[in-house]
């Protein structure tokens, strides 16, 4: 049994919202459970905006720290996961804007021009990525990565993470009509064979393996619960 889970023994499986209430009440160790439950969804949402894996983990950690320190602001009007993902996406977009400002200062890009964020293929894939090294999954990731960020983010939130149109609109601070339009455009930009295979394979896209999960959780706990 992992740390933070001992307090849940014998009480069934409380919702994220119940756990958040208990964390606010002083049972801070349960925040680890919230992180582990939501790590994959948060990773996918951030990964839809940023392509550098180190930056993705850094943004995830910052998002969790912000969520922990501002947990009193969570009112329960939306699902905890939606509230958390919105924080993570906002942090990722902030990081992306900073990157683009630096690139513009260097004269490497024009301001206001939407650039595709394409994943760079590494010569030697790390062990964590080899677990998802099947040809179809690689094709799906490459096809999604080739989308402009605003379309890719909507596609991942809706089709991969399974957020509703309303939740996606809330996360991105746009209207539901904008979400629908961007999703339609995203799917149109992806090749027909990808559109035909969206189904169950999408759960394997941008998978968040246990070692990375442990690394993010440990880093966040060290920041919010110093010994």
Rounded Cα–Cα distance for residues 32 and 41 (Å): 15
The pLDDT of residue 212 is 78
Q: Is the pLDDT of residue 152 over 60?
A: yes
Fold of the CATH domain 14-224: Rna Polymerase Sigma Factor; Chain: A (1.10.1740)
The CA-atom distances, in angstroms, between 115 and each of 108, 141, 145, 169 are: 12, 17, 11, 22
Q: For the chain, what are the domain ranges?
A: 14-224
> What pTM value is reported for the model?
0.68
Q: What confidence tens digit (pLDDT) does each residue in 6-23 have?
A: 556 545 689 999 999 999
Q: What confidence tens digit (pLDDT) does each residue in 87-142 have?
A: 999 999 999 888 776 655 554 444 433 443 344 334 444 555 444 446 667 777 87
Q: Is the pLDDT of residue 65 over 50?
A: yes
């Amino acid at each position: 049994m992992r740390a933070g889970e001992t307090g849940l023994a014998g009480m069934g499986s409380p919702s994220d919202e119940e756990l958040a209430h208990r964390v606010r009440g002083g049972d801070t160790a349960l925040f680890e459970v919230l992180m582990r439950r939501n790590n994959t969804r948060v990773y996918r949402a951030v990964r839809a905006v940023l392509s550098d894996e180190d930056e993705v983990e850094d943004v995830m950690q910052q998002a969790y720290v912000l969520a922990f320190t501002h947990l009193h602001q969570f009112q329960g009007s939306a699902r905890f996961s939606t509230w958390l993902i919105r924080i993570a996406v906002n942090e990722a977009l902030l990081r992306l804007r900073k990157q683009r400002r630096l690139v513009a200062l260097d004269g490497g890009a024009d301001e206001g021009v939407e650039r595709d964020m394409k994943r760079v293929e590494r010569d030697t894939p790390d062990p964590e990525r080899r677990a998802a090294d099947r040809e179809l999954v690689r094709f799906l990731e490459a096809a999604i990565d080739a989308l402009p960020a605003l379309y890719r983010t909507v596609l991942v939130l809706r089709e991969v993470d399974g957020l509703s149109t309303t939740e996606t609109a809330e996360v991105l601070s746009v209207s539901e009509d904008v979400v629908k339009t961007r999703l339609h455009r995203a799917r149109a930009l992806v090749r027909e064979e990808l559109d035909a295979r969206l189904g169950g394979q999408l759960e394997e896209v941008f998978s968040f393996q246990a070692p990375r999960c442990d690394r993010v959780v440990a880093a966040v706990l060290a920041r919010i619960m110093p010994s």
